[in-house]
């Protein structure tokens, strides 16, 4: 049935929309928003370049539904009626990202307890369960009231409507990576005893109600996607068995695409890294079979495929054309997500589609340091932080360069990236706090 499917095959979604091929640019944080959290010309430059690069669909980075709880200071936020300037900026963004017959889907999110302290020292979350991470980067969250949870549902639907009305061709609800919806799903984080906590049905209520509210707001022919963790990889957290059950419930809602991912800030498996917490004993060890696979979450997707009929997408770890096509031909997934490779070579999808390239550029292995490089008295947590956040900074700075109209700089060092990324975040946070 899937023998003739490869990355160049079009895909018609349940809502009737068609993607021109099976390559999607995965969501990555950009940090290009202005001091009022509006889209900028930087978004238009960056996404036009990616749209011209050949992918069938582009997912934006986090667009927040509440500027009090953002993933980083430079996020775009849609948390109420938009000014004429904000609407014009979003339309410019959407116009640029949909050239070359490309779909552009807005990823809408609420960062929950993973809001940096520089944005909010007391962010909203399902429960007052703080992140177990060193460095004081995140404050202690406040448990949301029932009214605040209902308000979040309305905010997601509102942001999706703005996305549709300004020219984005679909949306993705961020229900993974330890952000608010993912927090509600996790029994380790969500310790509520009301209708929003306890059983998996109650913990999944927020996600399902958000999907239903968005569908009611945008209509039957507008693509709705969800990003869902295959697991949190934290003992006592959202399990793979939980993920299979939630995926089946989403399938029943008529979802157009489910992206399967995994991990949180504490367990950043989404970028191929392991435990970053103060309590590594709670981390679940990855199976060797999972580590050996080209794509991080393909093994988990296979289990979910057995429970659903909706299109599935996996992002993370795909590097060879042969591996991408094999995953599609197996029927395990329907869309291949590429993220970090597009930070270095934004035209890599077209090269893979034409056969001019057989693999994507891979810089992660060269962006790592050993425990000894920071000196004999450095703590291992510092090395892990440098490898994790240094890599994150390196790739984010490449996006910022393209947003400025420059080419990526593959020769950039990880130390300078770590330093410059931190400086950029501090500058953006200061500008935000002056508003």
Distances (CA, A) of 408 to 172, 173, 237, 315, 349: 27, 29, 37, 21, 16
In the predicted model, is pLDDT for residue 373 greater than 80? no
pLDDT above 90 coverage of the chain, percent: 70
Distances (CA, A) of 207 to 39, 112, 133, 179, 233: 26, 14, 26, 12, 20
Which helix H or strand E contains 155, and what residues bound it?
helix 146-165
Model confidence at 1, pLDDT cuts 50, 70, 90, reads low
pLDDT given for residue 387 in this prediction: 59
- Residue 285 sits at φ, ψ, to 5 deg, of -75, 135
Q: Beta strands 57-59 and 23-25: pairing type?
A: parallel
In the predicted model, is pLDDT for residue 289 greater than 50? no
Q: Which whole number is the average pLDDT over 113-138?
A: 88
Tokens of 336: 């291949």
Q: Give the pTM.
A: 0.88
Question: Domain residue spans in the chain?
Answer: 11-360
> What's the pLDDT tens digit per position in 205-226?
999 999 999 999 999 999 999 9
Model confidence at 381, pLDDT cuts 50, 70, 90, reads low
Tokens of 237: 């957290």
pLDDT given for residue 282 in this prediction: 46
Instruction: Sort 334 into a burial class: Cβ within 10 Å, 0-12 / 13-18 / 19+.
Output: buried
> What's the pLDDT tens digit per position in 136-195?
788 899 999 999 999 999 999 999 999 999 999 999 999 999 999 999 999 999 999 999
Asked if residues 138 and 115 have their Cβ atoms less than 8 Å apart, the reply is: yes
Q: Which whole number is the average pLDDT over 118-133?
A: 91
pLDDT given for residue 234 in this prediction: 65
Top-level CATH class of 11-360? alpha beta
pLDDT given for residue 380 in this prediction: 45
């Amino acid at each position: 049935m899937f023998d003739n499917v490869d990355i160049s095959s079009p895909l018609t979604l349940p809502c009737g929309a068609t993607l021109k091929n099976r390559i999607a640019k995965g969501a990555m944080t950009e940090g290009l928003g202005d001091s009022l959290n509006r889209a900028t010309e930087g978004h238009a430059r960056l996404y036009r370049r990616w749209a011209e690069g050949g992918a069938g669909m582009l997912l934006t980075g986090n667009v927040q539904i509440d500027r009090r709880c953002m993933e980083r200071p430079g996020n775009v936020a849609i948390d109420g009626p938009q000014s004429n300037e904000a609407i014009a900026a979003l339309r410019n963004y959407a116009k640029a990202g949909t050239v070359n017959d490309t779909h552009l889907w807005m990823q809408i999110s609420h960062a929950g307890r993973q809001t940096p302290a520089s944005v909010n020292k007391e962010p909203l979350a399902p429960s007052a369960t703080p992140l177990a991470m060193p460095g004081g980067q995140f404050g202690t969250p406040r448990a949301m009231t029932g009214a605040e949870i209902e308000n979040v549902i309305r905010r997601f639907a509102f942001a999706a409507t703005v996305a549709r009305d300004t020219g984005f061709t679909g949306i993705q609800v961020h229900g993974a990576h330890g952000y608010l919806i993912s927090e509600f799903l996790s029994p380790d984080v969500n310790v509520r005893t009301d209708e929003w906590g306890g059983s998996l049905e109650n913990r999944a209520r927020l996600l399902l109600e958000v999907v239903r509210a968005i569908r009611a707001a945008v209509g039957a022919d507008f693509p709705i996607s969800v990003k869902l963790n295959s697991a949190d990889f934290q003992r006592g957290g959202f399990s793979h068995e939980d993920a299979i059950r939630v995926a089946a419930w989403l399938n029943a809602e008529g979802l157009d695409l489910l992206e399967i991912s995994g991990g949180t800030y504490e367990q950043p498996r989404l970028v191929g890294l392991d435990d970053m917490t103060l309590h590594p004993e709670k981390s679940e060890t990855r199976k060797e079979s999972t580590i050996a696979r080209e794509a991080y979450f393909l093994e988990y997707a296979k289990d979910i495929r057995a429970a659903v009929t909706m299109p599935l997408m996996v992002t993370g770890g795909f590097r060879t054309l042969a591996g991408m096509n094999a995953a599609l031909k197996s029927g395990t997934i329907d869309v291949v997500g590429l993220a970090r490779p597009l930070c270095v070579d934004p035209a890599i999808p077209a090269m893979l589609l034409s056969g001019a390239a057989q693999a994507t550029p891979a810089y992660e292995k060269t962006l790592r340091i050993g425990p000894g490089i920071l000196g004999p008295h450095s703590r291992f947590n510092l090395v892990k932080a440098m490898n994790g956040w240094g890599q994150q900074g390196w790739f984010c700075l490449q996006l910022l360069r393209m947003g400025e109209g420059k080419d990526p700089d593959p020769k950039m060092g990880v130390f300078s990236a770590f330093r410059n990324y931190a400086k950029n975040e501090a500058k953006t946070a200061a500008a935000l706090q002056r508003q």
